[in-house]
Amino acid sequence: MKIAFELTWRTPLRWLLGLLLVWAALSKLANLQDFYGELLAYRLPLPDFLLRLVAITLPWLELLCGLMLAAEAWTRAVLSWATVLFATFSLATGQAWLRGLEISCGCFNLSLLGLGGSSVFEKVFESVGFAFFRALLLATAAVYLLRQQTTIGSTN
């Protein structure tokens, strides 16, 4: 009964994480230069070339992870990367929130859903505090799925 319950929840959760990763990736790929600017706004203590590298490769890593998560391919590796990504993002947004930096999250482009400009949704969605808690929640979900995957194996 417990295993059936977990199996029922794992698949939709996996698809949700995959969808979010794909959406985040497409938002960044639409304008890489803008994403690089948003990375600079976090004022991370990293050299510029590393920030450029992140701006260039991170969206593709997200996209590949999102697609493979939905397709249930290399699930352990993908979930490991998802955990790393969400945990890192939690740290970045957390430090930006603590320092009171005025930044856009740069994660999700609501105009892809027809919600953009000065809509209320964007204001809430793009706030750094919301981004921090969202990243924490997603990291927790990824860790949960990874633990389940490690325990039961990639049989489904």
Q: Is position 65 an interface residue for other proteins (rule: CB under 8 A)?
A: yes
Q: At what angle do helices 75-98 and 48-71 cross, to 10 degrees?
A: 140
Find the part of the chain contacting other proteins (CB under 8 A) among 14-22, 71-79, 85-93, 130-138.
71-79
CA distances from 22 to 2, 26, 47, 108 (A): 30, 6, 27, 10
Q: Residues 123-152: x/- map of binding to other proteins (CB under 8 A)?
A: ---------------------------xxx
Find the part of the chain contacting other proteins (CB under 8 A) among 11-19, 48-56, 85-93, 137-145.
48-56
Encoded tokens for 87? 């945990």
Least Å distance between CB 82 and other proteins?
11
Residue 92: which of 27, 44, 40 has the closest Cα? 44
Residue 113, class by beta-carbon neighbours within 10 Å (0-12 exposed, 13-18 middle, 19+ buried)?
exposed
Residues of this chain that interact with other proteins (CB under 8 A) are 2-3, 29-34, 36-38, 40-41, 43, 48, 52, 55-61, 64-65, 68, 74, 76-78, 80-81, 99-104, 109, 111, 116-118, 150-155
